A and B are shown apart, each in its own frame.
Chain A
Amino acid sequence: MIQPQSVGIVAPQRARFTVPLPLRSGGRLDDYELVYETYGRLNAARDNAVLVCHALSGSHHVAGTHAEDPADIGWWDNLVGPGKPLDTRKFFVIGVNNLGGCYGSSGPNAINPATGKRWGADFPFVTVEDWVDAQARLMDLLGIERLAAVIGGSLGGMQALSWTLQYPDRVRHAAVIASAPKLTAQNIAFNEVARQAILTDPDFHGGHYYEHGVVPARGLKLARMVGHITYLSDDAMAEKFGRSLRHGKAVYSYDVEFEIESYLRYQGDKFAGYFDANTYLLTTKALDYYDPAFEHGGNLAAALARATAEFLVVSFTTDWRFAPPRSREIVYALLHNRRRVSYAEIDCDAGHDSFLLDDPRYHAVLGAWFDRIEVQP
């Protein structure tokens, strides 16, 4: 046992792919790039690689810090590092920014090599399955035939599940956390409100706002505010903000009065300052489209029959955006296919955001599960 540590300073890497990638939307990317980071060392047997898939607003920067910005800590730094549940002394961990992202991989805010201009709204629709295809090509490039594990939360969990269906021979274990086999109508509804906020922003310009030197910041801010409400639990919000009034009493104004208003506006403004609106649109659509049971007449067990990996499924009691019953659907579908699966339902009050926190029981289960994975020295 060692004291959990950071992986330290890390540098993103970039891979270019020139073999065309067919997309589920019918489109195609002829020439694209993926940015990624790695932590730990790939062993000689190349059997200790773990892919970490990011969710809606995540990136390839999973752990550690960047030399030019020490405050830029990876989004799952509490999970990944020496002595942490996903221990980089044992595993070679990979984070990759998905296609359509805005952190350096090919996406709407990147240059379209065919035109020399930013893609904008012309960037094709991408799905969870397309992301997994692109990730698999990156694994080819890194010389990784078979992943020890793939792990993701929320939309990342959908990618982890999809890996086991698209490339069953290339993944030994999958951790699907705070996720779902498909979104509910209510969940799609939240995404649609977020998209409409962006699409109707006068600065959106049909997705080609870059050329106008503006960004649809108001729309993106609103989208994030809606999202944030759904990521927190009622209890957590009540505990954190309650009905606290900035002025101690009602002043009858539309400026910030309740502290929750201040919090949402702050989070919305912050997000609108760095995230790309087109990426937000594309990514929420990828969430909405994901439904591996669709082509099996809605029969999830039939859809998951292809999987051979060993699974860990985790949900959180107060997560109402990706509620425990959605995770249980995955668990029972796997079990009835006689697949190895364990399921933990963690009692945590932080709602959907719980998967990013370091609840000790949650991390203990993840740590024990990763310990169980056999790799060559």
Chain B
Amino acid sequence: MIYRYDYDVIAQWIEPGEKVLDLGCGDGSLLRHLMEVRQVQGYGVENDTDKLLACVKNGVDVIQIDMEKGLAGFEDGFFDHVIMSLSLQAMHNTQGILAEMLRVGREAVVSFPNFGYWRHRQSILNGRMPVSESLPHQWFNTPNVRFFTIADFDALCEMNGIAVRERLAFDEGKLILEEPNFLASVAVYRLGRP
């Protein structure tokens, strides 16, 4: 399960009792996890009615808004952490949402599939778009709209003055320390204001 270690890493960065906002929270399972292991006060943001219903069933508080339009209703710095787990690649307004996350949160936590993973590169070399555990969809039905690598994301953070406080990269549940842009399929970042 790709989600498991993503969740564990995120939980390690959260202090008990924090206020947490999870953008694109799906069925609320990450928030549920953080409520159980960190007693956070969590809210999810989700714009899909079926997923919203799943959150309500899971006992997770969820707000239905379209994140592409920003987070205008949320006060500056209200949350300790604003999380976006494996959803950034499905957002059009990449820079806008990153700025919004760091406006309403003290820190942002972002995880995404690494397009530069060696298996993805191999697939492209063989002439086909990659389909993998971290990029499970076909090109014609993927919800992803942005395809970027760990190196690309580092460059964006530098360009936008976003402080990378911590970065962990994984492949098949194992931490990748060497050559993450080549060997890791997923990266998890802890970001702050400069």
Give A residues with C-beta under 8 Å from B.
312, 328, 331-332, 335-336, 338, 340-347, 361, 364-365, 368-369, 371-372
Q: Which among B41, B49, B55, B74 is the interface contact of A342 at CB below 8 angstroms? A: B55
B75 interface residue per 8 A CB criterion = yes
A-B contact number at CB 8 A: 50
Indicate if the CB atoms of B63 and A369 lie closer than 8 Å. no
Knowing A328-B73, A331-B73, A332-B74, the reply to whether A340 touches B61 (Cβ < 8 A) is yes
Residues of A within 8 A of B57 (CB): 368, 371-372
Complex Cα distance, B49 from A347, in Å, reads 9
Q: How far is the CB of A309 from chain B (nearest CB, A)?
A: 13
CA distance A372 to B19 in the complex (A): 22
Q: Which 10 A-B pairs have the closest CB atoms?
A: A368-B56, A332-B73, A343-B63, A345-B64, A368-B57, A361-B49, A342-B61, A342-B62, A344-B64, A364-B53
What is the distance, in angstroms, from B21's C-beta to the closest C-beta of chain A? 9
The reply to whether B73 and A372 contact each other, CB–CB distance below 8 Å, is no
Is residue B117 contacting chain A, with contact meaning CB distance below 8 A? no
Tell me which of B43, B56, B73, B75 contacts A369 (CB under 8 A): B56
Name which residue of chain A comes closest to B44, CB basis: A342
C-beta contact mask, B41-62 vs A, less than 8 Å → 1, else 0? 1010000010011011101011
Complex Cα spacing A364 to B51, Å: 12
By a CB distance below 8 angstroms, the chain B residues around A347 are: 49
B78 touches A (CB below 8 Å): yes
Known contacts A364-B53, A365-B56; A336/B78 CB under 8 A: yes
Alpha-carbon gap, A340 to B62, bound state (A): 9
> How far apart are the CA atoms of A336 and B19 in the complex, in Å?
10
Determine the distance from Cα of A335 to Cα of B65 in the docked complex, in whole angstroms.
Answer: 14
Rounded to whole angstroms, the CA-CA distance of A328 and B69 in the bound complex is 14
Q: How far is the CA of A347 from the CA of B66 in the complex (A)?
A: 13
Given A340-B61, A342-B61, A343-B62, the answer on whether A368 and B73 have CB atoms closer than 8 Å is no
A365 touches B63 (CB 8 A): no
The interface bits of chain B over 5-25 (1 if a CB of A lies within 8 angstroms of the residue's CB, else 0) are: 000000000000001000000
Q: From B19, B52, B73, B75, give the contact of A344 (CB < 8 A).
A: B52
Q: How far, in Å, is B107 (CB) from chain A's closest CB?
A: 19
Report whether A372 and B56 are in contact in the complex, using a CB–CB cutoff of 8 Å: yes
Report how far A347 CA is from B73 CA in the complex, Å.
20
A100, B130: Cα distance in complex, Å: 67
Contacts A343-B62, A371-B57 given; does A335 touch B49 at CB 8 Å: no
Return B18 CB to nearest CB of chain A, in Å.
12
A-B contact pairs, 17 of them (CB 8 A): A331-B63, A332-B74, A335-B63, A336-B75, A341-B43, A342-B56, A343-B64, A344-B52, A344-B64, A347-B49, A361-B49, A361-B53, A364-B53, A365-B52, A368-B53, A371-B57, A372-B57
Q: In the complex, how many angstroms separate the beta carbon of A11 from the nearest chain B beta carbon? A: 34
CB distance from B81 to the nearest CB of A (A): 15
Assess whether B41 is in contact with A341, with CB atoms less than 8 Å apart. Answer: no
Q: Which residues of A contact B53 (CB under 8 A)?
A: 361, 364-365, 368
CA distance A331 to B71 in the complex (A): 13
B45 nearest in chain A by CB position? A343
A345 to B73, CA, bound (A): 15
Nearest Cβ on chain B to A332's Cβ, whole angstroms: 4
Instruction: For residue B75, give the distance in angstroms from its CB to the closest CB of chain A.
Output: 6
| Residues on B with beta carbons closer than 8 Å to the beta carbon of A345 | 64-65
Mark contacts of B82-125 with chain A using CB atoms, 8 A cut-off: 1 yes-contact digit, 0 otherwise.
Answer: 00000000000000000000000000000000000000000000
Closest to B21 in A: A335
A342 vs B31: C-alpha distance when bound (angstroms): 14
Residues of B within 8 A of A361 (CB): 49, 53
Q: Beyond the given A335-B74, A365-B49, please list 11 additional residue pairs across the A-B interface where CB-CB is below 8 A.
A: A312-B56, A341-B63, A342-B56, A342-B62, A343-B63, A344-B52, A347-B49, A361-B53, A365-B53, A365-B56, A369-B56
Which residue of chain A has the shortest Cβ distance to B19 in the bound complex?
A338
Least Cβ–Cβ distance between B25 and chain A, in angstroms: 11
**Whole-angstrom distance between the alpha carbons of A169 and B75 in the complex?**
28
Asked if residues A342 and B63 are in contact (CB atoms below 8 Å), the reply is: yes
